[in-house]
Amino acid sequence: MILKIYTVDAFTAAPFAGNPAAVVPHLEPIEEKTLQKVAAELNLSETAYVSPATGAVGESNPFKTCSLFRLRWFTPTNEVALCGHATLATAHVIFHSLENKSEHLEFKTKSGVLVARREGARISLDFPANPPRPLTPTEEKHFEHLVARAAGGLKIAEVQVSHATKKLLIRLHKSCTREQLETLKADPISWKSLHDGSVVKGIILTLAGDLRGAAGEESTSGYHCLSRYFAPWNGIPEDPVTGSAHTVLGPFWAKKFGVSSLRCRQVSPRGGEVEVRVRDDGRVDLSGPSVIVLEGKLHI
């Protein structure tokens, strides 16, 4: 079987930044073990497999005419239930390379139906909001050593958890700086000895930016929040820009600042921007640009 394959840098307008994802459009079924082997071979944080929904396969060019697709995401080690940047990358390929003329696309996934909409040069994703909650005393004790190791000596203000996404959110104290967060030397692989991944599969380190709500003054950074994200339990030591993490960060910081729209920066070495709109219906809109950097053929 020979399939088209694309590599897309998501949440960036420039190549070699943001978060790369592989996108594999297909019409015929692919064996489960092959899906995982390809993702391991590519060794990107995510490989997305997308196919037209049942009923569209008989059309002459279903990727051009269909607006409902099935979508799955695989890391190099396992399948995940939700991935923002690979969904953005998939929508970009369908809109811009496969010449789909729809204004919005729907994706059937393990996290329900996700919607991608055109917004000028950007694409907006309609995702479930995953607000975190404070740890219980039992959880605080259980994660004490993991939290201390992840923070790398930086002062911690609070810790919360999103059980829906299995993400631990560590808010750093306001005395910490962007430079400290950016230059923090983390060793995520060592964290696996402190937790088996049964409750948490990823850790968000986050810091307030220089935007302080609707009445605040914008300073040089122009972001409500800064973050880094690590997911060694999913085979991803550090993820460059993470859509699913912003389904947690968005509700968390929106509540802190009393706003519904946030501009966020993930300060990984590659870096990228995510705009988040927190809605009243338990959903969030994540938007950002993306760019195709590679197009080729996959032989399986």
Q: Which residue has tokens 């055109």? A: 118
> Exposed, middle or buried, 225 (CB in 10 Å: 0-12/13-18/19+)?
buried
**In terms of Cα–Cα distance, which of 74, 108, 66, 87 is closest to 290?**
87
Give the number of C-alpha atoms closer than 13 A to the C-alpha of residue 211, restricted to the C-beta side. Answer: 19
Question: What residues are labeled active site?
Answer: 46
Show the tokens assigned to 73: 């995401």
Show the tokens assigned to 205: 């380190």
**In terms of Cα–Cα distance, which of 263, 247, 172, 255 is closest to 202?**
247
Tell me the C-alpha distance between 86 and 98, whole Å.
Answer: 16
Beta carbons within 8 Å of 120's beta carbon, 6+ residues apart: none
Show the tokens assigned to 193: 């000895």
Beta carbons within 8 Å of 21's beta carbon, 6+ residues apart: 7, 8, 10, 44, 45, 46, 47, 48, 83, 85, 86, 89, 90
Compute the residue count for the chain.
Answer: 300
Cα angle value 186/167/146 (rounded, 5°): 45
Q: First-to-last CA distance in the chain?
A: 5
* 261-266 and 272-278 strand pairing: antiparallel
